[in-house]
Amino acid sequence: MSDRTVLDMFRLDGRVAIVTGASSGLGAVFARALAEAGADVVLGARRAERLAETVTAVEEVGRRALAVRTDVTRPEDCQALVDAAVAEFGTVDVLVNNAGVGTAVPATRETPEQFREVLDVNLHGCYWMAQACARVMRPGSSIVNVSSVLGLTTAGLPQAAYAASKAGLIGLTRDLAQQWTGRKGIRVNALAPGFFTSEMTDAYAEGYLESQLPRVLVGRMGHPQELAAALVFLVSEAGGYVTGTTLPVEGGMLTS
């Protein structure tokens, strides 16, 4: 490693990455960032018609892309996504478990169906994807589960299902790292984003984000590229000594 520069350690040349929830928002940003770092990218999402824009974004920076309609709540879809990646590119080196949904329903009114739907996507779907990828990943591979700062704190909304799913994902991350890092050479980490522009934040009530900004030490929402940079660190050689951890990227919100 001594003949490589620090910046070289962030490169992903020759790697193949899967990104779920890649049809828009942070998933699309993650896909382009991984491509900019040198990876070919396999894109999964339920809204297959919207994956075309992400394919274009990856190809614009000179990397190859493959889009596969995927519902992560279906283990068979997760396996099909991995099978398609291996058939097209020969391997899977990186998994970004980004697919997720959120609700803001008071706990006394949330139905069992609403609660289960959130956990099915945010927690169960990540597990099915991680299982399918770990079966084919080589030593040196990396999985990043996109959790949330709301898995570590609260933020003034009734989000029991969302918070439970994201906290559960942090626990899942620790356990999979314990199981796979030593035995398989697969690092498993989580990102815990604070407030970043996305479809989820677009749905918040007017004034909600402004009410939370006093808790954020840097005094603003995050830029998606800042989160993508943290992701590239975790999945690249630069993060090679990091596993089983959750990296908060939240502008200091957790200090309040």
CA 40, CA 190: separation in Å to the nearest integer? 21
Convert 14-47 to b/e letters by CB count within 10 Å (16 or more is b).
ebbbbbbbbbbbbbbbbbbbbbbbbbbbbbbbbe
Residue of 127, 162, 204, 208 marked catalytic:
162
Please state, as a whole number, how many other Cβ atoms lie within 10 Å of the Cβ of residue 253. 22
**C-beta of residue 123 within 8 angstroms of C-beta of residue 49:** no
The whole-angstrom distance between residue 65's C-alpha and the CA centroid of its chain comes to: 18
Task: State yes or no: is 162 an active-site residue.
Answer: yes
- Cα angle vertex 199, ends 211, 16, to 5°? 125
How big is the CA angle at 253 (ends 248 and 256), to the nearest 5 degrees?
Answer: 130
Cα–Cα distance, 184 to 28 (Å, whole number) = 29
Residues 6+ apart with CB under 8 A from 207: none
By annotation, the residues acting in catalysis are: 162
